[in-house]
Each structure stands twice: as C-alpha cells, then as structure tokens.
Amino acid sequence: MAINQPTITSNGVVRPTHVEVELTRLTENYRAIERAVTPATVMPILKANAYGHGLVEVARHFASLGAPYLGVAFLEEGILLREYGVTTPILVLGGILGNQVPLFLEYDLTLTASSVEKLSQTNDAARAMGKRAKIHLKIDTGMERIGVHYYSATELLETALTCEYCQIEGIFSHFANSDAADLASARLQLERFCEVLHFYEGRGLPYPIRHIANSGGILQLPESHLDMVRAGILLYGVYPSMEVMRTISVRPALSWKSQVVYFKVVQPGHPVSYGSTWQSDHMVRVVTIPVGYGDGYFRSLSNRSEVIIRGKRYPVVGQVCMDQMMVNIEWETAYNGDEVLLIGEAGNASGDVVSITCSDLAQWAGTIPYEILTNINTRVPRLYLNDNG
C-alpha cells in the first residue's frame, strides 16, 4: 500500500523545505475549465501524487467541488482514496492484471478494459463475487501504449455487450500530440476514435461516456471535448507545452519554498560543492538551502537554476547535493531563516513581482514541467491554504 505524503494543515511547518498548495487556485482553474468545456464534464486527473500537489487532499477538494469522476493511474492510488473516505467515482486509467480485479470490485473502483481477455477476466471475477464491474473501454488511436487498436476494436465492443456482469460506463482514447502546434496527428486520432464510436450508432445503442481530451485537447481541440474531458496538468495551473494555445486562463496552485540555513563568505578560487564545478574569482557570500535532489530538485539544475531570496533571483552554484544546495548572493544580504522560493512568486522593494515557474525549472533542467512537478519527493511536506489563505 502506498503511503500518503506528509501533510500539514496549519502553520506548524515541521521542515523549512515544503510545498504550499493554494486550494483557491485549484477551484478557479477547475471552474475555468468547466466553463470552457460545458456541456462536457471535467474529470480531474490525480496520478503521480496529484502532479506533486498531494493525492488525498487534492482529491477531497475536487470531490467537494462536485467533480463527477476522478482519474488515477494505479489501483493502489484508488484504494488509498477510498480508505481516506473519498466516495466520488474513480477511474483507474492504467493497465491491470487479472488478479487485481477483485480489489477493484471490493473498493468500488472503475477499471480500464484494454483487451477482450481483460474484459472476460473481469466479467468472470465479477460473476464469482456476485457484483457488477464498472468499466471504461480503452481504444488505442495512435499512442501505442495500452488499449485495443482502433482498427480492431469491434470485437472488444461486441464482447462488452455480452458481459452481463460488466457495466460499460465509458469509452476513451488518449492523444499523443494534442499540445503541439501542428494538430494533424491529434485530429487523425479524434477521427479514428469517432469511427469506432459508429459501432453504437449502427446498433441504435446509447453511447457510454466518451472522452479523449487531455489538457492539450481541452485547450486546442474543442471538438474533442465530447462527454467528458480529463484535466491533468492544466488543472494545476501549468500549460502542457510552450507551443500550446492558451485558450483558458489558469494560474499555478503550487509554490515550493525553503529557507536559508547557513551563510558564509567564500574566498576567490575556493570551489563550491562536489566535483568543484564552480568557483568565483572574487570574494562572495554563499548561502546554503536545505533542499536537494533527494527532494526532487534535480541535480541537472546545478549551476543553471535560480531561486528567489528577498524578492531577487540568485543563481544556484556548485553541484546540487542530496539534501542541500548553495546559492551565490554576491555581496548582498541574506539571513538564516529568510524565505527561499524554488517555485513561486514574490514582490520586491520596487513593487515588481519576481517569479520562478516549474516551466523555468524544466527549461534549465532540459525536461518538461510534468517531470518537475511529479518529482517533488513525498518527504517534502505539503501545506494546504484554504479559500481564506
């Protein structure tokens, strides 16, 4: 069983390095997406610890907003939410093993059936338990991950009609390139998915819940919204790529903070940190921050990234260590206990707002914002700010 991340619900932060999640921002983002896609509904996606924001608290928040469905990647995530009292329908999006089916039924979780074999296994297990399994059928329209190919989907859909212990609630696919500037691939996938859906029209059957739009599809392909959309990184206030059209205004809900814990003067020619990869040719002041790659602050950010102290950006110098890193403030001032922003925004003495986004970190690290958010380690406590701050 997965263990939930350390959670702080008051100002009693037990560690200088922590994440703050503004629930108000999550609410605003959810409502903005909801308005944009209506009459389709919104399924918040909570995989990978709710994109680093904290699985249980974020799930409870979206459930309180009336989300009709929640999406997770793995069975264990769904079980954890049920054990913490979340009763909203939960779709497990990932592939399953046959011996997991009884747990889906026990915890009232909706499973993804990605083949005729898995659908039959599910029907048999449900029959043996005297229950009906809730199912969403997965169609592969071009991702080549899980799901039956669109050109051979008819057998799966026909088999589903004969599985009396399976309740087919939905049918879905997943875009591979909906956040790109060139949408030809995404439009082809949508066309293929719609061709599969003709199965129901041809037999005079009502559609199950149809969904294919992820964050890129929500923003760029309104024709893909269908009955429900799966809002992932967009829901957390981060756009899925630099190329995507920003047709919905969202704001980041997460700030990553730490504090200065040590201050020293470093002489010219004295290297800083492992590998001696950085040194100054003049005397500088260097502060130590208690965060490192053990928390998910990538080692590849060494000598590349910046942090905000007292409303000003300063460079990270030397190799990022497992639990600590150093910042060059030149000959300026910082004190032990001063707040350090790794991700977030702060005002300065001039009244300007200075910010560092997860997209900034992704660019410095040579990766994507998804990886920055989902790699914030579970040892980093989460502090949840309610609508009143």
**Cβ 21 vs Cβ 58: under 8 Å:** yes
Residue 165 falls in the annotated catalytic set: no
Q: Pseudo-torsion of CA 362, 366, 367, 368, nearest 10°?
A: 50
**Cβ 217 vs Cβ 178: under 8 Å:** yes
- What residues are paired with 265 via a beta bridge? 285
**Cβ 308 vs Cβ 259: under 8 Å:** no
Separation CA 189–CA 174 (nearest Å): 8
**Cβ 153 vs Cβ 161: under 8 Å:** no
Beta strands in the chain (DSSP E): 7-8, 18-22, 41-44, 70-72, 90-92, 110-113, 133-140, 148-149, 166-172, 209-211, 228-231, 254-259, 262-266, 284-289, 306-309, 312-317, 325-328, 339-347, 353-356, 382-385
**Cβ 227 vs Cβ 207: under 8 Å:** yes
Range list of H helices, the chain: 23-37, 47-51, 55-64, 75-83, 101-106, 116-129, 154-162, 184-202, 215-220, 358-365, 369-374
**Cβ 118 vs Cβ 126: under 8 Å:** no
Catalytic residue selected from 47, 131, 200, 312: 47
Q: Scan for tokens 């903005």, then name that residue.
A: 32
Q: Cβ of 73: how many Cβ atoms within 10 Å?
A: 15
Catalytic residue selected from 84, 151, 207, 274: 274
Residue 47 falls in the annotated catalytic set: yes
Helix (H/G/I), strand (E/B), else coil: 137: strand
Q: Cβ of 263: how many Cβ atoms within 10 Å?
A: 15
- 230's tokens: 């799966």
Amino acid identity, position 312: K
Q: Per this entry, what is the length of the chain? A: 389
Catalytic positions: 47, 274
